[in-house]
Structure 1
């Protein structure tokens, strides 16, 4: 019998039996599948940007981020200077005084607003301000003609005035004073309220108590400028995912499923501006000393979906590895087109995840997406493998991958640790099951 093969038959036989060629083909398929995976990431980013635009739109109508800066006591000073030719010029300067004591107590009530399928976190807050001023500042007497104690005024900066929900009344000593809209310190406080004070000339070197209540609503962030010689801030809320920001972290904080509470104590020595100054713009220095809290969504669905898509190449590689080992150990040939269909099914998981999670809980969306994808692959693999044993191995692999990915997504702080441990375990298991394969003899055929 003539066993000789034509060159074409030899090439065909090499193509069918070459392990190296199959590995190269699988690698190329994996790289090509990165194209739909990157497109999926673009879709997730686009949906997240749309969500952010909705958040900004809702914030514009509700009220934006709120920062409270004040109160600042301002007293006009009249100076006269003699210039050449004996002419006298008059110049008005302003003395700025900050509180000796400033205490802020606030309760924040978060709300979730929906716009279509998107959810936005806003809040309402009740803020109590109290403290003391002491009018004992040393003033430059050179050229000083008059101190306008009867024109003194207070300024409180509020970044978004649309968030004020009730009238504000200032308790100044034993008097109740009305509040006017707008800031008189435009260079230092762009947006806020002003209060004209009665003549304070009879209150020199005395402590003047003040207090007021602010019913304020806003979105995402609430922050304060610590203007007191000693500033104490205490905030509490039912929101259980705060992010404390600014130049100072809380001295004490408690965060639980029921909400959070936090308190700060800031001294004037902790900031880079004085308690009193004349005709200087301390806006940048004050901004740098801000402290506050963000009401953030705890690792929202778009972040989770984006993080899960970063594991796409790992998922595809592991499933392809199972298919390749089935070829080696079971002797069944699997066509590259079949690998491609399985890879596309794995990519479909991420599209299902982002689309379903926009309409339901992320965990439910994950379960549905993983279930649909797994079922598709397993039914298809059963007809390809023709083996319950290897189908069972594939089932365990898929359940392990999706289970591992789900746990990793939930543990935001330990994601890198979980990922590295998981990859080490996967590599170890692969090495164990392939330890006895003689890769050099896989292409050899017995005569």
Structure 2
């Protein structure tokens, strides 16, 4: 090896030089944490850019939708004591509040037709859906509320359907209320239950003993998520779609589901005993959204999450590569300059930027292979140039291949990442202890081979 790569180290200072080299390597590893953190930030920035693209498309299409359907909201007058701020006298004032009644039986059947939209290099999932809502309300009985009948404004009863983003409504919505056909109006009179939605004025009769039947069909579009709130005493939701990668989320999972390449089918059955609010109440006492459930139309691969997980092992990757370099120095009595350590470390970090940028255009697995192969060839060529040894180059290349394969397996096996990672670190430690077991750290001699290679 040329004198610029190999240096003769006097015996007297050998001990100090070994410790100095170890200290130098540790400092280099710590310094490389700075660009590693920059890669972390870059991944987060790209992910944020993707989220902004999703929000931009959603703002022009329609956002995630949550259906709260239906609720009967009936205004009533209640009397409360009010204290005057001027003379501290009390007086009785009339205040309008609302009675909210949920259906006895609720059946929802929906078909979701997803589409992929593009904003730059990013894919966004939007959907059109047709949702049919049927069910019944029990005959009205206000005895449990302790409200005088004359204070209840039955002629102002509203049939309310909560919809998060009203831009998603594509057609006029008609309501069949018993034998009547009614049309909806935008907005809601009370925000006790829902903040946004549509309403229809319906006729109710306190003397009627029969249940009220209702039916409506909703053509609704949205982005990525579609949720339902189980407002029925018995709520049955059936969904089907051609999307092959659904994520069933929320307060309840489907009672039955089937997922295939051609799409999915799912069925939820929720009882009023499964949620924490009654069938009838007054005011804004309860948060219905906490019981929402539904689907998330996931994209097949989240490249940023996988890239982020791979970067988490960067310090292990760099540290072990440097450890191999150090053992090569010790066992083969050569000297590798700290600058050469730094260049190899930077190459290892550039792998992650390659992985991130390439995975935005092709599949993550293929991007990983391309990035790993490029980095491997770069480091192997550099090691061959500085060590002048094909044997050592092949050894280091084989170790890097094993490391990249190890990281790739961990990324794929998300549920077992901790187990596989722990076993891998244990094996690395065991191999390091095995190959260093016979090294006499106080009597190393690098000078002989250095002289031969000069």
Residue number among 165, 187, 191 corresponding to 1:160 in the alignment: 165
Does the alignment pair 1:129 with 2:129? no
Evaluate the alpha carbon distance shift between residue 312 and residue 152 of structure 1 in structure 2; reply closer, same or farther with a 3 A threshold.
Answer: same
Residue of structure 1 equivalent to 2:330: 328
Counterpart Cα distance in 1 of 2:330 and 2:9 = 20
Residue of structure 2 equivalent to 1:44: 43
Q: Which has the higher contact order (CA 8 A, sep 6+)?
A: 2
Aligned residues of 1:18 and 1:443 also touching (Cα < 8 A): no
Counterpart Cα distance in 1 of 2:44 and 2:426 = 30
Residue of structure 2 equivalent to 1:190: 195
Secondary structure of the 2:175 match is strand
Evaluate the alpha carbon distance shift between residue 428 and residue 15 of structure 1 in structure 2; reply closer, same or farther with a 3 A threshold.
Answer: closer
Residue number among 205, 210, 217 corresponding to 1:213 in the alignment: 217
Deviations, residues 236-256 of structure 1 (Å, cap 9, x unaligned): 333344333332233333444
Q: Note the C-alpha offset of 1:173.
A: 2.1
Counterpart Cα distance in 2 of 1:295 and 1:125 = 13
Counterpart Cα distance in 2 of 1:143 and 1:310 = 65
Counterpart Cα distance in 1 of 2:42 and 2:359 = 14
Aligned residues of 2:193 and 2:288 also touching (Cα < 8 A): no
* CA RMSD across the alignment: 2.9
Evaluate the alpha carbon distance shift between residue 90 and residue 433 of structure 1 in structure 2; reply closer, same or farther with a 3 A threshold.
Answer: closer
Aligned residues of 1:137 and 1:276 also touching (Cα < 8 A): no
Secondary structure of the 1:167 match is coil
Evaluate the alpha carbon distance shift between residue 52 and residue 89 of structure 1 in structure 2; reply closer, same or farther with a 3 A threshold.
Answer: closer
Count of residue pairs the alignment pairs up: 432
Residue number among 150, 170, 177 corresponding to 2:175 in the alignment: 170
Deviations, residues 393-434 of structure 1 (Å, cap 9, x unaligned): 111111111111112112222222221122122222223333
Residue of structure 2 equivalent to 1:271: 275
Aligned residues of 2:139 and 2:206 also touching (Cα < 8 A): no
Residue of structure 1 equivalent to 2:374: 372
TM-score (norm 2): 0.86
Counterpart Cα distance in 2 of 1:88 and 1:404 = 75
Structure 2 matches for 1:250-329, cutoff 5 A?
250-277=254-281, 279-282=282-285, 284-298=286-300, 300-329=302-331
Secondary structure of the 1:95 match is strand
Q: Note the C-alpha offset of 1:285.
A: 2.9
Counterpart Cα distance in 1 of 2:191 and 2:396 = 68
Aligned residues of 2:333 and 2:445 also touching (Cα < 8 A): no
Counterpart Cα distance in 2 of 1:428 and 1:214 = 63
Evaluate the alpha carbon distance shift between residue 35 and residue 99 of structure 1 in structure 2; reply closer, same or farther with a 3 A threshold.
Answer: same
Secondary structure of the 1:218 match is strand
Q: Structure 2: give runs of 5+ residues left out of the alignment.
A: 1-7, 81-90, 449-454
Does the alignment pair 1:144 with 2:149? yes
Secondary structure of the 1:103 match is strand
Residue of structure 1 equivalent to 2:34: 35
Counterpart Cα distance in 1 of 2:331 and 2:166 = 72
